[in-house]
Amino acid sequence: MTNRILYLALAIPVLFSTQLAADDTAVVNDIVQKAKNECAAMDNGEFHTTEQTITLHDFTGDGRPEELVDASQFSCSTALSLWGGTGGTYLWVVVDGEAYEFLAHQWKVVDVEGQNVLLLAVHSSQCSDDIGPCFRAHVWGDGFRTTR
């Protein structure tokens, strides 16, 4: 009986983390499928992505990387900018089955003393300015946090 309890104690977290990963992948697939559908709705456009569309980064610090979807890697044969404009391009980070959406001109993941920080180059209006560069840093803490 003790071995059976030990097996269940070890198996449940593995099953749970596998389910979370499957939930994240389903959300990522939904994001990409929605973009594909949006493109097709634009005069039967052909949708394409690159190998850099989905990348993996551990933002939560749990040792399991989260999936990041970068719409700047989407293209549609019949539309130039379905997923962005002067404010930037959409970017989603999927954590535990939830998509966190950002808008950025460029992005980079920076390691700061073991913590992955999502650094976004955003529209200057995000810094209460008319011109010049503007950056926003996001860190995980039961959701993404940043300063305003």
Q: Do residues 134 and 124 touch, judged by C-beta distance below 8 A?
A: yes
Band of residue 5 on the pLDDT scale cut at 50, 70, 90: very low
Task: Report pTM.
Answer: 0.82
Range(s) of the domain holding residue 29: 2-145
Alpha-carbon Rg of the chain, whole angstroms? Answer: 19
Q: Is 123 left (phi over 0), alpha (psi -120 to 50) or beta?
A: beta
Residue 45 has pLDDT above 80, yes or no: yes
- First-to-last alpha carbon distance for the chain, in angstroms, is 55
Asked if pLDDT for residue 128 goes beyond 90, the answer is no
Question: In whole angstroms, how far apart are CA 112 and each of 108, 117, 135, 139?
Answer: 12, 7, 16, 10
Identify the helix (H) or strand (E) that includes residue 15.
helix 2-40
